[in-house]
């Protein structure tokens, strides 16, 4: 990772930093593979989406090979998998998600529900504590086809028990689709052990694969031939370069590909995954929990007197890799913090998100960041800043 001693970066859950090896690998792909190898390099590139998917599966997703593909964006993958799941669940016409789910998930499902005349049941989650199993259990019935939830909530960082909730959903005869955007690379994900059905996630947060790097999708092996995704593209075709007259989906996970994959982003997924794999997700998680607990401890002591309220679960095992703090001036405080070279981010309504990604963040970073927060809040040194959010992701 780049070393910029002045900056404390607590926003790796929005855009992860650039790994040194990714920088070198991207330059190699651009200068050599593309620049010199030209079209001949496709023989190495054509297998990348599967190869990067298998690396994610092994190191970060708790999944056996052949179930994960790097492709498209989270939005497009969610559309593909949710559509495929609904087609496979004929006779059931309800989709469930929760009101705290990430916007693109809710929007995609709204669109699908509108197009198909399905009902979209929007469960209420506590914005700081996440979805309760009880709420989900009450909403399940034999009309439910699909349940779409985030493993780690994007705002509070609340972590739900994937195995427990998947089991509830399965008992009702429905399928699960998990959004792993804030989970992959920050908590050990156990897709196979949880008998998760489907999942999607991005790679530009904790996987550090760069701005707009491709997403991934997971389809449990026994579902791969039962489910057919709606976007029938040439990269999902069996024997693609025979360019045959009729679409004939490739066997297995490859049928969930669509068009030409972005090569540069996919090699960055490989490098980012390799880095986390070498560190080990269990060790990263242990450090992450220590970092966030330390952060919460300091916040209790230093920030509570200045109007901050913890907006994340207090129990470590119910938290992902980031912590949210509520404050009436959260937006201006987040901007004042950036001025002090500490980057977190703002999320509406009134939350400051801080993600001490364990691969790059030290305990002294957390101390320094919270000390600066304390000063800003105590001195009201955000007073000169505008109150309106600008563009952040």
- Backbone φ and ψ of 25, nearest 5°: -70, -40
Instruction: State the nearest-atom distance from the C-beta of 233 to a copy of itself, in Å.
Output: 3
Instruction: Report the relative pairing of strands 323-326 and 351-354 from DSSP bridges.
Output: antiparallel
% helix, strand, coil for the chain, step of 5? 45, 15, 40
Question: Which residues, in sequence order, are CB contacts of 307 under 8 Å at separation 6+?
Answer: 327, 328, 329, 377
Name residue, tokens 């989900």. Answer: 136
Q: State yes or no: residue 243 binds a copy of itself (CB under 8 A).
A: yes
Q: State yes or no: residue 294 binds a copy of itself (CB under 8 A).
A: no
Binding to a copy of itself (CB under 8 A) within 187-206 occurs at 202, 204
Instruction: State the nearest-atom distance from the C-beta of 319 to a copy of itself, in Å.
Output: 21
Q: State yes or no: residue 225 binds a copy of itself (CB under 8 A).
A: no
Piece of 67-75, 90-98, 144-152, 164-172 that binds a copy of itself (CB under 8 A)? 67-75
Q: Output 28 or 300, the one with its CB closest to a copy of itself.
A: 28
Piece of 20-28, 60-68, 90-98, 171-179 that binds a copy of itself (CB under 8 A)? 20-28
Binding to a copy of itself (CB under 8 A) within 97-116 occurs at 99, 102-104, 106-108, 110-112, 115
Instruction: State the nearest-atom distance from the C-beta of 5 to a copy of itself, in Å.
Output: 13
Q: State yes or no: residue 233 binds a copy of itself (CB under 8 A).
A: yes
Q: Output 383 or 391, the one with its CB closest to a copy of itself.
A: 391
Instruction: State the nearest-atom distance from the C-beta of 74 to a copy of itself, in Å.
Output: 6
SS3 readout for 90-104: CCCCEEEEECCCCHH
Name residue, tokens 């799941």. Answer: 85
Piece of 16-24, 305-313, 317-325, 378-386 that binds a copy of itself (CB under 8 A)? 16-24
Piece of 2-10, 287-295, 307-315, 373-381 that binds a copy of itself (CB under 8 A)? 2-10
Cα separation, 375 vs 298, whole angstroms = 13
Q: Which of 11, 33, 80, 102 is catalytic?
A: 102
Q: State yes or no: residue 5 binds a copy of itself (CB under 8 A).
A: no
Active site residue 353: yes
For CA atoms 43, 45, 46, 52, give the dihedral sign.
Answer: positive
Where b means 16+ CB within 10 Å and e means fewer, 198-237 reads bbbbbbbbbbbbbeebbbbbbbbeebbeebbbeeeeebbb
Cα Rg, the chain, nearest whole Å: 21
CA-nearest of 59, 6, 370 to 206 is 59
Q: Among 141, 251, 259, 380, which residue sits at the site for a copy of itself (rule: CB under 8 A)?
A: 259
Q: State yes or no: residue 26 binds a copy of itself (CB under 8 A).
A: yes
Cα separation, 295 vs 352, whole angstroms = 13
Active site residue 11: no
Piece of 75-83, 89-97, 314-322, 327-335 that binds a copy of itself (CB under 8 A)? 75-83
Alpha-helix runs per DSSP H in 97-227: 103-116, 133-139, 162-171
Q: State yes or no: residue 18 binds a copy of itself (CB under 8 A).
A: yes
Cβ atoms of 159 and 151 closer than 8 Å: yes
Active site residue 380: no
In three-state secondary structure terms, 171 is helix
Binding to a copy of itself (CB under 8 A) within 109-168 occurs at 110-112, 115
Piece of 54-62, 139-147, 228-236, 286-294 that binds a copy of itself (CB under 8 A)? 228-236
Partners of residue 95 on adjacent β-strands: 120, 146
Q: State yes or no: residue 42 binds a copy of itself (CB under 8 A).
A: yes
Active site residue 204: yes
Q: Which of 204, 218, 256, 382 is catalytic?
A: 204
Q: Output 172 or 264, the one with its CB closest to a copy of itself.
A: 264
Q: Output 168 or 207, the one with its CB closest to a copy of itself.
A: 207
Q: State yes or no: residue 8 binds a copy of itself (CB under 8 A).
A: no
Q: Which of 285, 353, 372, 374 is catalytic?
A: 353
Binding to a copy of itself (CB under 8 A) within 326-365 occurs at 338, 343, 345, 347-348
DSSP state of 260: P
Cβ atoms of 391 and 320 closer than 8 Å: no
Cα separation, 36 vs 42, whole angstroms = 12
Which residues participate in catalysis according to the annotation? 102, 179, 204-205, 353
């Amino acid at each position: 990772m780049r070393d910029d001693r002045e900056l404390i970066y607590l926003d790796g859950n929005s855009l992860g930093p650039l790994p040194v090896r990714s920088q070198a690998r991207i330059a190699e792909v651009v200068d050599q593979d593309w620049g010199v190898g030209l079209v001949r390099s496709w023989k190495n590139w054509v297998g990348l989406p599967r190869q990067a998917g298998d690396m994610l599966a092994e190191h970060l997703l708790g999944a056996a090979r052949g179930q994960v593909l790097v492709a498209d964006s989270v939005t497009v993958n969610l559309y593909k998998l949710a559509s495929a799941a609904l087609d496979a669940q004929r006779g059931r016409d309800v989709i469930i998600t929760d009101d705290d789910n990430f916007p693109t998930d809710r929007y995609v499902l709204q669109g699908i529900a509108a197009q198909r005349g399905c009902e979209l049941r929007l469960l209420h989650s506590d914005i700081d504590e996440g979805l309760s199993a009880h709420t989900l259990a009450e909403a399940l019935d034999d009309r439910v086809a699909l349940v779409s939830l985030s493993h780690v909530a994007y705002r509070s960082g609340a972590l739900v028990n994937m195995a427990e909730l998947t089991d509830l959903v399965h008992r009702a005869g429905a399928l699960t689709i998990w959004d792993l955007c804030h989970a992959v690379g920050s908590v050990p994900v156990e897709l196979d052990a949880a008998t998760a059905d489907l999942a999607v996630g991005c790679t530009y947060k904790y996987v550090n694969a760069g701005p707009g790097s491709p997403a991934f999708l997971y389809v449990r092996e026994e579902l791969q031939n039962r489910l057919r995704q709606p976007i029938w593209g040439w990269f999902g075709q069996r024997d693609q370069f025979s360019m045959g007259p009729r679409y004939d989906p490739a066997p297995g996970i490859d049928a969930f590909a669509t068009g030409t994959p972005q090569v540069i982003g996919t090699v960055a997924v490989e490098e980012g995954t390799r880095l986390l794999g070498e560190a080990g997700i269990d060790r990263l998680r242990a450090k992450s929990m220590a970092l966030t607990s330390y952060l919460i401890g300091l916040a209790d002591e230093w920030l509570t007197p200045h109007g901050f309220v913890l907006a994340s679960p207090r129990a470590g095992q119910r938290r992902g890799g980031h912590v949210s703090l509520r404050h009436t001036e959260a937006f201006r405080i987040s901007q004042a913090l950036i001025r002090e070279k500490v980057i977190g981010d703002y999320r509406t309504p009134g939350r400051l998100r801080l993600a001490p990604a364990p691969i790059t963040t030290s305990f002294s970073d957390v101390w320094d960041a919270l000390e600066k927060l304390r000063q800003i809040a105590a001195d009201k040194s955000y007073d000169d800043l505008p109150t309106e959010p600008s563009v952040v992701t």
